[in-house]
A and B are shown apart, each in its own frame.
Chain A
Amino acid sequence: MTSLRTPVPADLESQADLTAEIKQLQAETRPGDAQPRLDWPPYRSSLLRHPTKTLRYADPEGAELVAPVFGQTDIGELESDLTVQPGGEPIGERIKVTGRVLDGDGRPVRGQLVEIWQANASGRYIHQRDQHPAPIDPNFTGVGRCLTDDDGWYSFTSIKPGPYPWRNHRNAWRPAHIHFSLFGTEFTQRLITQMYFPGDQLFALDPILQSITDQRARDRLVATCEHELSEHEWLLGYRWDIVLTGTHATYLEPGDE
């Protein structure tokens, strides 16, 4: 099976050098930043793809104050269970991932669309561009959708995704993750992010997760394994809550009160 392995390009930076670069940049960044740094050289693909100018403040108006509306007509009944496939059960650890979507003031986001996509148990996406020589699972596509309920809860049944290699640097591995796409009640709250699994030794090596330079903010992307959510002889349960930015509809400028 050695034919599946590609030779290691000699010019790629080592993980040790990249990790040192990450640590140095994080030391130079002010603590408390909740968002990833867009200008973040350790993630090589970002070099030419981040704006260099300061973002301009805009007072949201019109369409910006209203999120798109989704409903039952937008999703299929079985789309929240990624293990239900016509050909049979996928391979891997069966899991449930559930939590609440809240806005920045703690209010549940009701009836809103949550979309996810992920690699299979061996770390392979069903995507033309994924050349990782790990097996494709014919019974797993790794795409899910659901609507939050009246208390903001979402829930997916899936398979725990595997970590996978990429070409950012030599011997680079992404920690296992699930991509999440979220909407709030305003267009300004749009969020796409990644959920990680607790205890992954790859966290410190990953330039994408480490682009969030504040440890507490990074921790918000890591689910917790909760025994109460696990189901007897069936699956392991993970809890992950999502907090979007605040809405503007009732927002008072500091000092207005």
Chain B
Amino acid sequence: MSELGVTPGQTIGPFFHYAMPMPDDRVLVPLDSPGSVRLHGHVYDGGGNVVPDAMLEIRQCDASGVVPRVEGSLRRDGSSFTGWGRSGTDSEGHYWFSTVEPGPTHPGAAPFFAVTVFARGLLDRLFTRIYLPADPEVLAADPLLATLDAELRRRMIAVRDDDGSLRFDLHLQGDQESVFLAYPRHVG
């Protein structure tokens, strides 16, 4: 199969804040609505500093494991679940989403949020997954997690806060560097 010349990526730069964020772009379901969960965390650089100019986007299934193909993520109507959201980090490097926990796409599948990461200083987007903290056997059987050692696997799984929130810190570099992904068609 011949590939066309793929357009290279470039950094999102420092000035996206007035362009990319939209009201409620991170609110996939209304805050504190039944079944809602807060997914949040900090973004860190290799020196352990917070990254105040990063942006995360998530794509996910609904609670029954279906990926919505519904418009309205930029101008939300307050009721449709679109399965996509965008959150910049604040001055503390913190991001958050109000969403639902994705269901398994098939029996036994380990549910996850698909994530894209952008930042000033990051020359191209990064992909990762945030897995739900689930049954260890389910997680161990996941095709991707099964290829990772226990430490790397741990880094891909969100932590349940006492208040029920899902916490996932992202490390662009360093001892705790997150696991970032490539997909087969990313190679030209």
In contact, A48 and B116 (Cβ under 8 angstroms): no
List A contacts of B18 (CB < 8 A). Answer: 117, 125-127, 141, 143
In contact, B69 and A59 (Cβ under 8 angstroms): no
Residue in A64, A69, A115, A251 whose beta carbon sits within 8 Å of that of B20 in the complex? A115
In contact, B59 and A104 (Cβ under 8 angstroms): no
For this complex, into which size category does the number of interface residues on chain A fall?
35 or more
List B contacts of A216 (CB < 8 A). Answer: 5
Report A38-71 CB contacts with B as 1/0, cut-off 8 Å.
1010010111111111011111111111111111
List B contacts of A194 (CB < 8 A). Answer: 10-11, 13
List A contacts of B107 (CB < 8 A). Answer: none
Closest CB of chain B to A5's CB: distance in Å?
21
B109-145 interface with A by 8 A CB criterion: 109, 112-114, 116, 118-127, 129, 143-144
Chain B residues within 8 Å of chain A by Cβ, number:
77
Closest CB of chain A to B168's CB: distance in Å?
16
Given A36-B10, A104-B6, A63–B114 Cβ distance below 8 Å? yes
Closest CB of chain B to A162's CB: distance in Å?
14
Residue in B46, B84, B112 whose beta carbon sits within 8 Å of that of A49 in the complex? B46
Report B143-155 CB contacts with A as 1/0, cut-off 8 Å.
1100110000000
List A contacts of B122 (CB < 8 A). Answer: 38, 46, 49-50
List B contacts of A64 (CB < 8 A). Answer: 59, 114, 183
Given A51-B126, A126-B18, A43–B6 Cβ distance below 8 Å? no
In contact, A62 and B12 (Cβ under 8 angstroms): no
Q: Tell me the nearest residue of chain A to B179, going by C-beta.
A: A56
List B contacts of A208 (CB < 8 A). Answer: 10-11, 123
Closest CB of chain B to A104's CB: distance in Å?
6
In contact, A56 and B182 (Cβ under 8 angstroms): yes
In contact, B61 and A63 (Cβ under 8 angstroms): yes
In contact, B3 and A104 (Cβ under 8 angstroms): yes
Q: Tell me the nearest residue of chain A to B46, going by C-beta.
A: A48
List B contacts of A244 (CB < 8 A). Answer: 6-7
In contact, A36 and B124 (Cβ under 8 angstroms): yes
Closest CB of chain B to A84's CB: distance in Å?
17
A75 at the B interface (CB under 8 A): yes
List B contacts of A217 (CB < 8 A). Answer: 5, 8
A110 at the B interface (CB under 8 A): no
B83 at the A interface (CB under 8 A): yes
Residue in A55, A57, A62, A179 whose beta carbon sits within 8 Å of that of B61 in the complex? A62
- B-side binding surface: helix, strand, loop or mixed? loop
B67 at the A interface (CB under 8 A): yes
Total CB contacts across the A-B interface at under 8 A: 252
Closest CB of chain B to A247's CB: distance in Å?
7
List A contacts of B15 (CB < 8 A). Answer: 117, 119, 125, 127, 129-130, 179
In contact, A69 and B71 (Cβ under 8 angstroms): yes
A191 at the B interface (CB under 8 A): yes
Given A64-B114, A74-B71, A45–B121 Cβ distance below 8 Å? yes
A248 at the B interface (CB under 8 A): yes
List B contacts of A23 (CB < 8 A). Answer: none
Closest CB of chain A to B74's CB: distance in Å?
4
Report B59-79 CB contacts with A as 1/0, cut-off 8 Å.
111000101111111110100
In contact, A66 and B73 (Cβ under 8 angstroms): no
A95 at the B interface (CB under 8 A): no
Interface positions of A (Cβ within 8 A of B): 34-38, 40, 43, 45-53, 55-75, 102, 104-106, 113, 115-117, 119, 125-127, 129-130, 141-143, 145, 179, 181, 187-188, 190-194, 208-209, 211-212, 216-218, 220-221, 242-248, 251, 253
Task: Enumerate 14 A-B pairs (CB-CB under 8 Å) in ascending A order.
Answer: A45-B121, A48-B173, A51-B180, A53-B180, A62-B67, A62-B102, A68-B73, A113-B74, A117-B19, A188-B186, A192-B125, A243-B7, A244-B7, A247-B185
Interface positions of B (Cβ within 8 A of A): 1, 3-20, 45-47, 49, 51, 57, 59-61, 65, 67-75, 77, 82-84, 102, 105, 109, 112-114, 116, 118-127, 129, 143-144, 147-148, 172-173, 177-186, 188
